[in-house]
Structure 1
């Protein structure tokens, strides 16, 4: 259960960084700092579940678009996963992730989230390997 919480915390941190860098993407709700951190963590867990269950189905259905665009359609799929996460949190809880516009905001956020997640995996992947070895 520990690796799950670490991955969710890193995803939440990456999403928080993205909200600071991309105009139009924000977290909604939470009056205190602790509530805001809890909201970010829950949104990261929901995002992980969306990526685990919905993303593979969308990827299989969109194989022709992946081939046609030489893989660039992956950015649109990642943006769609962010948008689905925002819709789930907005429609069920009225707090969570808010995206102004799908096309430009979600696309920019997907690109920045990929880069931030990659950098975090480089940094914390090396830390995890050094602790084990």
Structure 2
């Protein structure tokens, strides 16, 4: 349970950094508390998308991994971020990614920041 909480907080932080750095990734809300709650809900949604959809997409695109020497990962991460944005819109969460290239850059930022936060945050897994 602690591992799930740490990953969700890391995703929320990474998504927050992407919102802060890129003006085409937006998070709207009346106040800071509402924005934080929305960010945590979007992080949960992003984690669910990465848990359910991403492995299937990676399996189906395996030949492209070999052909592009793994660079297709950037496109897959962008597509997962766009899917999260679309699902957030369907669930009336105030999170939106505007455009594919913004999603590519946002996916790169989210990946790097999430990795760094997962390294920094405590986790009791051995």
Please state how far the C-alpha of 1:35 moved relative to its aligned partner: 1.0
Query: Match of 1:98, SS?
Result: strand
Query: Match of 1:54, SS?
Result: helix
Larger Rg computed on CA atoms: 1
1:8 corresponds in structure 2 to 8
**Is the contact between residue 86 and residue 97 of structure 1 (CA under 8 Å) also seen in structure 2?**
yes
What TM-score, normalized to structure 1?
0.86
CA RMSD of aligned residues (A): 1.8
How far apart in 2 are the matches of 1:92 and 1:123?
31
Question: Which runs of no fewer than 5 residues in structure 2 stay unpaired?
Answer: none
1:31 corresponds in structure 2 to 30
What TM-score, normalized to structure 2?
0.90
Question: Which runs of no fewer than 5 residues in structure 1 stay unpaired?
Answer: none
Using the TM superposition, name which of 75-84 and 114-123 deviates more.
Answer: 114-123
* Aligned positions of 1:1-133 closer than 5 A: 1-28=1-28, 30-93=29-92, 95-102=93-100, 104-124=101-121, 127-128=122-123
